[in-house]
Copies of this chain bind each other. A is one copy, B any other.
Amino acid sequence: MQDDQGIVTAGMVVIGDEILSGRTKDINIATTAEFCTDLGIELKEVRVVSDEVDAIVEAVNTLRARYTYVFTTGGIGPTHDDITADAVAAAFQVALPINPEAREMLESRWRKTGTEVTEARLRMARIPEGADLIVNSVSAAPGFRIENVHVMAGVPVIMKAMLEALAPTLKGGRKVMSVAIKAYVGEGTVGGPLGLLQQEFPDVKMGSYPQMGADRVMTELVLRSADEERLHLAAERVRAMVSDAHAKAGVELPTEQQ
**Interface of A with B (CB < 8 Å)?**
14, 17-27, 29-37, 42-51, 55, 77-81, 115-116, 118-121, 123-124, 155, 157, 186-192, 194-195, 198, 205-210, 212-213, 222, 224
* A208→B21 contact, CB < 8 A: no
- Does A47 lie within 8 Å of B47, measured CB to CB? yes
- Note all chain B residues with C-beta closer than 8 A to A192: 118-120
Q: When the two chains form the complex, which single residue of B79, B80, B194 contacts A80, counting CB atoms closer than 8 Å?
A: B194
A-B contact pairs, 11 of them (CB 8 A): A20-B42, A20-B43, A20-B46, A22-B31, A22-B35, A77-B187, A79-B190, A79-B191, A81-B207, A120-B187, A121-B191
Cβ contact of A24, chosen from B24, B209, B212, cutoff 8 A? B209
Closest to A50 in B: B44
Closest B residue to A205 by CB, please name it: B17
A25 to chain B, nearest CB (A): 5
Residue of B nearest to A106 (CB): B188
Question: What CA separation (Å) do A186 and B33 show in the bound complex?
Answer: 31
Contact A210 B155 (CB under 8 A): yes
| Closest-CB distance, A256 to chain B (whole angstroms) | 22
Other A-B contacts than A22-B32, A80-B191, A120-B190, 12 sampled, CB-CB below 8 A, are A22-B31, A22-B37, A45-B50, A77-B187, A79-B191, A79-B207, A80-B198, A115-B188, A116-B188, A121-B191, A124-B188, A157-B212
